[in-house]
A and B are shown apart, each in its own frame.
Chain A
Amino acid sequence: MRGPKLNSTVSVVKINENLIEFFKTNTRSQIRIKVNNNTIYELVNSLDGEKSVDEIAESFSTTPEEVERLVLFLEKRGLLDTTFPRDDFIQYEQFRRTIHFVEEYAISHEDLVEMWNSIRNAGVLIIGLGAVGSWVACNLVQSGVTKIYLMDADKVDETNLHRQFGYRYSDIGCYKVDALERRLKEYNKDINIFKCYEFLNSENLDTFNEMQLNLIINCADKPNVDTTSLWVGKYGMQKRIPHIIGGGYNLHLSLIGQTVMPGKSACVNCFKKTLEEENTIDPEKVRKLMVKNRKVGSFGPMCAIVASMIGMESIKILSGKIPPSNINRRGEFNIYSMDIKYKEYGRRDDCEWCGKEGKYFCN
């Protein structure tokens, strides 16, 4: 590239003679600027990266300084291509779509390089490689993450194949961590996979004490999701590691779990406290009847919807620049209405973990 280049994802629209709109396709956001005449519109539409600032200045009968000023203005708002020189990005060719996607959030080349390195070099622990975790692991490697910790003691079973991705018929009977590692390496050979052949329990997260963890994704449901979320939530708060509560399926609703940014958002215990208050019913009068041998059905595409949202949320966190959306809330995707509904849960002062008197209080 010889000169400034308009970002490929940006559309330029002339709203009227005095107003130009820049529409960022990826984020669906607009920036509008007032202009006095047609020059800026034409200048912007000539930014193909092939012309130097001096050449542009000459053809528009202005000074290079004026052009520089406009270029800086556009760059700060993420409207210019900041991917040059491309050698600064490891594996640019493979992952150019990811790089160009997060580019709308970058304000300079250095900023974008930093985001990419941060995504690439992050360590992500995925606990539970079932209907949600298996999809998430693949999506993260596909977006360029190179350090993945996989934790699950389960083996691939035939009844998993309708909803868990990355496993093939020939993998039946293999450990999920082994089968998934094979699949992930088919996406990118240059990745590091750390495998833990255990189910999560109240202590074994300590296995990871010495390792670089930038994000933990909990998709473990043994003994149940509430318990594993508490274990992961506690560890994440202790070590100040962002964590995502995976969610999963509940018949016609798919649950989209919350993202916890320690010190900045409601923690798992805050959610628990609020949920307990909401669900209080008089136990003297009303009892829930236990149903035995319940094996709730599950549906692959509904799980994959949840997994895809965790995948997006993860990239936001790992980029270090894009704010996650599911802090202080959880969502439900409804198969009847096909709508996503979120419910807010605030951070609590009286939380035993992150409240003012809490064990893991930090700001």
Chain B
Amino acid sequence: MNGSTVFKIKDSVDLFLSNDAYLVAYYMNTRQRKCFKVNSNLKYLIETIDGRKKIDEIYSFMKSLGINGDDVDRAIVLMKKNRIISEVIYNQNIIDPLDYHRYSRQINYFSEFFEDEKGGIIAQKKLMDSKVLIFGCGAIGGDIALELAMAGVGNIYLYDYDFVEKSDVSRHMFYSIECEGLSKVETLAQELVKINPKIHVDTINQSMKPNTDIEKIISKVDLVVNTLDEPYIGYTSSKISRVCMKYNKAHYIAGGFDAHLASTGELIIPYVTPCVECYAKHFKKVLKDWKPSQHPVKLRYTEIGGLASMSLFSSSYACVEIIKYLTGIIDLGYAFKNRGEFLFTDMSLTYLDVKKDPNCPVCGGNSDERS
């Protein structure tokens, strides 16, 4: 700390003065409350810490009120230690100043999860350095790509073979009339660049076949999103997850299970969360007596679908989890979520009770044995 250091009260802290003798700090993020015995001069100090004044200016202002520098020092140290205030960074050299400006509000948001603003800038840098591969650019995959690009994810790989058609208006946020008939990956890639000219997008315009090699591409990314439902989600899930487990990559299962109806998917972190195989086992058990008959309408899948806003719900949920993972703002090691079911009718969200199977052939067993 030198004379030109600037402090601000953290956005996630509300401060109350009780009986002019106690300072109560309410930490909104964690809902904690801390109480400090203070003298009545502290309120002047707090009112002076405005995120703009240098510490020297604060000293001289406090001096004019007859309060000496040692007392101010002690208060500053105490508030810093208790994460009430944090240092404002002016000359950061972690990311490009233009990016710092563009993502300033988001950096502000991230910073609240760390001790100081530097933590937030580093989180933003992690996003900008990330490589995310998205299998399937439909309602969910498309929305996820858009939201990740907006948040600043620097490298996105899009995998799909389909074309934009007329009825996609009601489910793809990247849809536009003039793109009808064009490839989905190209259309989406162009939209991402329009939002962020700095983004790097690679497109893979093909469908996934049993002999398709996906190892090479999965091995070079940080995270995989799977929304493919062809030939069916169970097949693509196990194929993709096998490779992800092998290369120790996290992947988010975002589609193929009513995500278009706003249900939420799950992030699979190898050997931390239940894996695709654990889920398959769970469903086999709970659905063993529930066997729908063959539906009489052959082309039913061209009619089934949710509202655009329902896909947006699942996609946004996915992006929150993905960004938590990529930035580390919240440690998912203990706080990961299972697949959830959202109901349109009452807008409730409940989670499935799926546990990591200790005997799972894919992720079970002693972690030492896995290599």
- A170 on interface, CB distance cutoff 8 Å: yes
Of B16-24, B54-62, B225-233, which stretch is located at the interface? B16-24
Cα distance A301–B101 when bound, in Å? 19
Q: How far is the CB of B259 from chain A (nearest CB, A)?
A: 12
What chain B residues lie within 8 Å of A264 (beta carbons)? none
CB-CB under 8 A from B264, the residues of chain A are 338
B304 within 8 A of A: yes
Q: Which of B147-155, B213-221, B244-252, B361-369 contacts A (4 or more CB under 8 A)?
A: B147-155
CB–CB A139/B176 < 8 A = no
- Chain A interface: which of B103-111, B235-243, B276-284? B103-111
Decide: A297 and B108 in contact? CB cutoff 8 A.
Answer: yes
Considering only CB atoms, which chain B residue lies closest to A95 in the complex?
A: B170
Q: Is the CB of A312 within 8 A of B112?
A: no
Chain B residues near A331: list those with CB within 8 A. Answer: 347
**A156, chain B: closest CB distance, angstroms:** 12
Residues of B within 8 A of A6 (CB): 295-297
- Asked if B203 is at the interface of the complex by the 8 Å CB criterion, the answer is no
How far, in whole Å, are A312 and B51 apart by their CA atoms in the complex?
Answer: 39
Partner of B167, one of A15, A94, A139, A301: A94
Which chain B residues in 149-188 approach chain A with CB under 8 Å?
150-152, 166-167, 169-171, 173, 175-178
Taking CB atoms and an 8 Å cut-off, the chain B residues in 322-342 that contact chain A are: 323-324, 330, 335, 337, 340-341
Query: What CA separation (Å) do A297 and B105 show in the bound complex?
Result: 5
Flag whether B305 is at the interface (Cβ < 8 A). Answer: yes
The answer to whether A48 and B297 touch (CB under 8 A), given A297-B109, A298-B105, is yes
B318 to chain A, nearest CB (A): 8
Number of interface residues of A (CB under 8 A): 93
Q: Mark A262-291, 1 if CB is under 8 A from B, else 0.
A: 000000000000000000000001111111
Among the listed stretches B42-50, B63-71, B129-137, which one makes contact with chain A, having 4 or more residues with CB under 8 Å of it? B42-50
B63 to chain A, nearest CB (A): 20
User: Taking A142-B173, A250-B28 as contacts, is the C-beta distance between A163 and B47 under 8 angstroms?
Assistant: no
B348 in contact (CB, < 8 A): yes
Contact A301 B147 (CB under 8 A): yes
B105 and A163 contact, CB distance less than 8 A? yes
- On whether the beta carbons of A187 and B169 are closer than 8 Å, the reply is yes
Which of B72-80, B89-97, B306-314, B352-360 has 4 or more CB atoms under 8 Å from chain A?
B306-314
B320 near A26 with CB under 8 A, answer no
Is A158 touching B47 in the complex (CB atoms < 8 A)?
no
Q: Tell whether A95 pairs with B297 under 8 Å between CB atoms, given A27-B344, A158-B101, A169-B194.
A: no
Q: Are A162 and B170 within 8 A (Cβ)?
A: no
- With a cutoff of 8 Å between Cβ atoms, the chain A residues found around residue B170 in the complex are 94-98, 142-144
Residues of B within 8 A of A300 (CB): 106, 147, 150-151, 319
Q: Is B292 part of the contact surface with A, judged by Cβ < 8 Å?
A: yes
Give the docked Cα–Cα distance between A6 and B295 (Å).
8
Bound Cα distance A162, B28 (Å): 23
- The verdict on A47 contacting B296 (CB below 8 Å), with A94-B170, A162-B102, A325-B345 known, is yes
Majority-rule SS of A interface residues: mixed
* A326 at the B interface (CB under 8 A): yes
By a CB distance below 8 angstroms, the chain A residues around B306 are 26, 97, 101
Q: Give the contact stretch, choosing among A212-220, A237-245, A303-311, A348-356.
A: A303-311
Nearest CB in chain A: distance from B61 CB, A: 13
- Residues from chain B with Cβ under 8 Å of A253 in the complex: 28
CB-CB < 8 A to B146: which residues of A?
Answer: 165
- Number of B residues near A (Cβ < 8 Å) is 98
Q: A297-B105, A309-B313 are in contact. Are A41 and B166 (CB under 8 A)?
A: no
* One of B291, B300, B308, B349 near A8 (C-beta < 8 A): B300
The answer to whether A142 touches B295, judged by C-beta atoms less than 8 angstroms apart, is no
Say yes or no: A9 contacts B304, CB within 8 Å: yes
Is A362 at the interface (CB under 8 A from chain B)?
no
CB neighbours of A23 from chain B (8 A): 292
The reply to whether the CB of A76 lies closer than 8 angstroms to some CB of chain B is no
Q: Is A203 interfacial (CB-CB < 8 Å)?
A: no
Q: A100-B305, A285-B19 are in contact. Are A305 and B313 (CB under 8 A)?
A: yes
Smallest Cβ-Cβ distance to A309: which chain B residue: B347
In this complex, what residue of B is CB-closest to A41? B293
Chain A residues positioned under 8 Å from B104 (CB to CB):
159
Contact of A339 among B301, B319, B323, B349 (CB under 8 A): B349
Q: A13–B290 contact, CB under 8 A? A: yes
Considering only CB atoms, which chain A residue lies closest to B349 in the complex?
A340
**Complex Cα distance A127/B255, Å?**
33
Q: How far is the CA of A188 from the CA of B103 in the complex (A)?
A: 31
Instruction: State A94–B167 Cα separation when bound (angstroms).
Output: 4
Q: Does A5 touch B at the CB level, under 8 Å?
A: yes
Cα distance A288–B167 when bound, in Å? 53
Least CB distance, B345 to chain A, in whole angstroms: 5
Contacts A6-B296, A48-B298, A309-B347; is A298 near B312 (CB within 8 Å)? Answer: no
Q: Which residues of the partner chain A approach B296 to less than 8 Å between Cβ atoms? A: 5-6, 45-49
Binding site for B on A (CB under 8 A): 5-6, 8-9, 11-15, 23, 25-29, 41, 45-49, 81, 93-98, 100-101, 135-136, 138-139, 142-144, 158-159, 161-163, 165, 167-170, 186-189, 250-253, 285-302, 304-305, 307-315, 325-326, 331, 335-340
Using a CB–CB distance below 8 Å, which chain B residues touch chain A?
Answer: 8-9, 11-12, 14-19, 24, 28-29, 43, 46-47, 50-52, 101-112, 120, 146-147, 150-152, 166-167, 169-171, 173, 175-178, 194-197, 258, 261-262, 264, 289-298, 300-310, 312-313, 315-317, 319-321, 323-324, 330, 335, 337, 340-341, 343-349
- A/B interface sample: 5 pairs, CB < 8 A: A26-B344, A163-B150, A165-B150, A168-B194, A169-B194
Pairs of residues from A and B, 4 with the lowest C-beta to C-beta distance, nearest first: A311-B309, A297-B109, A297-B108, A97-B305
